[in-house]
Structure formats: C-alpha cells, structure tokens
Amino acid sequence: QVQLLESGGGVVQPGGSLSLSCAASGRTLSTYHMGWFRQAPGKEREFVAAISRIGLRTLYADSVKGRFTISRDNTKNTVLLQMNSLKPEDTAVYYCAADQTIVLHSTLAEYDSWGQGTQVTVSS
C-alpha cells in the first residue's frame, strides 16, 4: 500500500486560505485516484474532493464547490488541496486517501490507504 502524509494544516480566520499537501511514498502515486476527506469532532468522516489518476477528472462535495481545488503532481508524488474562502464549518481533521478502483468515488469504502490527518481550524 502507498503511505500518505498530510501537511499544511493550521489556524486561519474565516475567509482565509490554506493549502494542504499529501505526500506519497512506497508506490507511484499515478496508479491511484486520490481523495480528501475531513472529520470534525463528534462527526463521521465526510468526503471533500477527489481527483483521477492523471488529474483529468475531479469531484467535489457540494459544501466546498467553488472554494476548494484539488490538484496533483505525479512527478512530485503529491496531491494538493487549495482551500479558499474558509468557513468555521470547514474546521476538521483533513485526511488524504488513495483509491485503486476504476472510477472516482466519493465514499469511504473504496479508499484503502489513509494518512494520519492534518488539523484545519477556521475561527475568529
């Protein structure tokens, strides 16, 4: 399995921006669809965004459309999540995940490899 490590989380005021990065090791990243999920305290993990193997397709949760952008650089073995216009509701631990199935998924079951997460806090 691929090993994933998220970074870039922090504290930001509402309306601000953060860029998250997911670094992969152990396997070539191009063999995986990649997704970002998040989990707030006391809540279940939820889908945020996903990107296909070479970045031709993307999928976003309705709650982040127009604000978040997922991208990947397979040469650098990284997946990025640019988060703009952040809201307090975006506060959560953000997880990077890898999926080897054919199509892009927005559900947890298809993602086999997970990072440890990075905390994003949006607060004034």
CB 92 within 8 A of CB 85: no
Estimate to the nearest angstrom the gap between the alpha carbon of 37 and the chain centroid: 5
Estimate to the nearest angstrom the gap between the alpha carbon of 102 and the chain centroid: 19
* 80's tokens: 């990025």
At 19-41, the pLDDT tens digits run: 999 999 987 888 899 999 999 99
Which residues in the chain come in under a pLDDT of 70? none
DSSP per-residue codes, 21-71:
EEEEESS-GGGSEEEEEEE-TTS--EEEEEE-TTSS-EEE-TTTTTTEEEE
What is the b/e burial string over 23-56, where b = at least 16 CB atoms within 10 angstroms of the residue's CB? bbeeeebeebbbbbbbeeeeeebebbbbbbbeee
pLDDT score of 40 = 97
